[in-house]
Structure 1
């Protein structure tokens, strides 16, 4: 019998929303400040998955300029009804301290590949919105409500309101239908209907080690909701032996053959730091319904090997390790920060066969960075590129970056020094503390092309450089890759999160020109390989 191997979507792919349309399965996941918005993966057997599309591909659909680290697209909900795909998402403008500015939108398409509509504004009362299509034709939005008041439960419950397709807006009364369980931090609501019950699935415990999936049910959509007596139905908390930690934030799908699966968020901590530099990932667990109508996980916990459904095998071609930049468009696996690809800062046309990036703002910027990168999706991996760059001053830099957010990164770069000319060095930032972890910059004056490489092995990162791409020399010390993680980005002061991280490690190419002259660099290829 074939097996599902978890995580099915490795690397930064959190908050899964899974659906089936005929024989096709789709999972939408959060992308936060990375552009384009929302990842949608596709499968036909729940075993093999491919990255299919990003529906929020225009700035008019998601304008994230100035959004904070780990702001932007939170917890998309993908659904389908009567020939139309519906995608609900939050654009988070602030999330640290007492307040959260969370604007919720809806886009639609008749085809999963688009085109997707311009957004319809829904509300701003909280995050994790989800759309439920009832069998009487009505549609309902649920989202958690954020309560900023001192002494109140910040996660103030789950709001319910009807959505009118005809009017393209929410209508009718707003009701708080569920205040959560003793686990607290009630979020990520999804409604399902089965055998006359409305089932409300939520995430509780917070999206860290205490994360969990909980369930409640009611005969009426607006409650009251009866809590599952065995809640949580899934958690990894206080089960350190499990590979998949942080299990929570789930959504359900039923196969063509009547089997049930739960897609859920998980993380795989590094040892001994317990940091997850691969970010929060997506896994699948097989489920069943008890005679008294409650959902249960086969095996009772988050497992790496799961029995696959009885469906024909449908594999996809492997993703090419090397991108020579010979196509008209960048690979779907590359992302930019907060801003779409535009010819004034990134182009494949000006020098065919090369990716040209024009230098803009620093790695600290939440506005206009020239950075193209892809997710790290395995603990052991290498990334390699070659760059042609002619810096004229120290404010011009280009190279290979290992990036979490504006406060946490390592950067192997080419720049210019008044004394030694063109040179190679490393910049780092840990929780916003700037450093240069090399004793002296290395002169590469007179060398037109320079090869750069990063070798990742769990918590270790070693940078290398080469004149020819064959013989490599290590530069700098072995760096701590575990700092490029949610956990290291978190800053908690008296219960208020002044720094939060919800993404994962990226590796890629970037250029800065802090002088404003927009000096460009050309990258001939980018190679990403995973190792056993």
Structure 2
């Protein structure tokens, strides 16, 4: 079998991969999207199935008010003492000199839960991981944040011992074990003990085109004792601009039962407008940061090297002892809303889907209109990751607004400043109308305005469709679900990419979603009904 990268397409960044017995598990960041932390499992590294999220209630995770691209950063999954350990960061501030954050740990004897109520650890830095030494000691390994304007904010990798019984962090044991190289921005640490040596894997260069992973090692865990792997970085695409995969770096190492080694890394797949160079700008990653897996070999000096070179490969030999795993090859999805909302597919912003936001059953999803997309508190939006560059998505909508402050429809959404949607609303002169609008770095544009499409009196339902075609996308509508009318507005897909958002905002860590939403910022909680949602991936 061959591993085809990325193995987890579409907004699956910062992978933490482990093996327990013959099964591999990956945990990924979810940022402000709820539920928190995405888990997948596989026995062959080729085919992956999603597992229930460990952070699926407000008791486990409270993100109300978190900024865009705050929330869950770089969770770390490990296994020791007969149970799974998950440490994660909930980031409350993304912009400016400070990074206020809360680091937690939770455990479970079964990967599917139940997970213990999270224990607060500290707020020293993000991208924490847990290292279980063979002498029974446990350590929190984390990036360390420095707000002082005359210092580098990424102030090295800190190691702090944790009491294995009480899970209390022992700040008196804290020490900096590694400061990275001149590339700076050292983060994403994972520590391993291999053949008596401690190996530290850490990301550098920022999670953009300059991203990379370096490896350092030491015979002990004393302060500043780690020495960087000589020569080229362990993995990077900074000097491979023509590669299908870009941004590789932050990730985790794993061994197979047969003694082979693999590395799971975040990656991005940029596309380009026809007028653009493929080197500069490097491109636009509308699918966000994804997960790739590369094979690793060890050189004569005991350093790990990526098979095929530090730029990685699209197709990678699967483990020789892989056990075939049944999993879907395509992420197309249909929802008739006959039962509870499937939160392995659907995500909400910051807060869980409850009766306050809406309800499902009897073949429909009802969303209660609340605050606008600009809110960090109370948005009625359910979203599905873009997992392919080309897809169609459609849904049937019933909505009876009586104010222009009431809107409901189909959206392509990155964050509160970057999205578009097609929706039903109210016009004082023409009654119910269809409008298309975009928010581009908080510049809101209604494209149809006085030419908004009037919905004939007596019409009960409207069908909406979005057609995403890599670099651009559009919307269409139907009054009978059969005959479609294209709306003459073509939108640049780059606006919902990490790379576009980065130009103006420091929180650029997620990916585009297609979603269903209802807004009633008048505060009257007008409801909208959605039926027969369909997301169909097309060939690239």
Q: TM-score range by the shorter chain?
A: over 0.9
CA contact (8 A) 1:455 1:461 kept: yes
Q: Secondary structure at the match of 1:66?
A: coil
* Map 1:243-262 → 2, pairs under 5 A: 243-262=244-263
- Alignment partners' CA distance in 1, 2:341 and 2:511: 24
Match status 1:155 vs 2:166: no
Structure with more of its chain in strand, by fraction: 1
| Alignment-derived partner of residue 316 in structure 1 | 327
CA deviation after TM superposition for structure 1 residue 438, in Å: 2.4
- Alignment partners' CA distance in 2, 1:249 and 1:297: 14
- Alignment partners' CA distance in 2, 1:510 and 1:477: 20
Task: Encode CA deviations 1:256-287: one digit per residue, 9 max, x unaligned.
Answer: 11110000011011203611110000000000
CA deviation after TM superposition for structure 1 residue 165, in Å: 2.2
Q: Secondary structure at the match of 2:489?
A: strand
CA deviation after TM superposition for structure 1 residue 468, in Å: 1.7
| Alignment-derived partner of residue 168 in structure 2 | 169
CA deviation after TM superposition for structure 1 residue 336, in Å: 0.3
* Map 1:192-341 → 2, pairs under 5 A: 192-223=192-223, 224-272=225-273, 274-300=283-309, 301-310=311-320, 311-317=322-328, 321-341=333-353
| Alignment-derived partner of residue 495 in structure 1 | none
CA deviation after TM superposition for structure 1 residue 320, in Å: 5.7
Q: In 2 relative to 1, CA 258–8 (structure 1 residues): closer, same or farther, beyond 3 Å? A: same
RMSD: 1.2
Match status 1:444 vs 2:455: yes
> What stretches of structure 1 of length at least 5 have no aligned partner?
493-497
- Alignment partners' CA distance in 2, 1:59 and 1:222: 39
CA deviation after TM superposition for structure 1 residue 327, in Å: 2.3
Match status 1:517 vs 2:524: yes
| Alignment-derived partner of residue 363 in structure 1 | 373
- Partner of residue 431 from structure 1, selected from 441, 455, 476: 441
Q: Secondary structure at the match of 2:174?
A: strand
TM-score between the two structures when normalised by the length of structure 1 = 0.97
| Alignment-derived partner of residue 494 in structure 2 | 482
CA deviation after TM superposition for structure 1 residue 200, in Å: 0.5
- Alignment partners' CA distance in 2, 1:433 and 1:346: 29
CA contact (8 A) 2:70 2:507 kept: no
| Alignment-derived partner of residue 467 in structure 1 | 479
> What stretches of structure 2 of length at least 5 have no aligned partner?
274-280
TM-score between the two structures when normalised by the length of structure 2 = 0.95
Match status 1:185 vs 2:185: yes
Q: How many residues align?
A: 524
Q: Which moved more, 1:60-69 or 1:433-442?
A: 433-442
- Partner of residue 420 from structure 1, selected from 414, 430, 435: 430
CA deviation after TM superposition for structure 1 residue 323, in Å: 0.8
Task: Encode CA deviations 1:281-322: one digit per residue, 9 max, x unaligned.
Answer: 000000011121100111012211111111122222465621
Q: Which moved more, 1:223-232 or 1:115-124?
A: 223-232
CA contact (8 A) 2:125 2:142 kept: yes
| Alignment-derived partner of residue 278 in structure 2 | none
Q: Secondary structure at the match of 1:488?
A: helix
Q: Secondary structure at the match of 2:75?
A: strand
Task: Encode CA deviations 1:32-85: one digit per residue, 9 max, x unaligned.
Answer: 000000000111100001111211011122111110000000000000112111
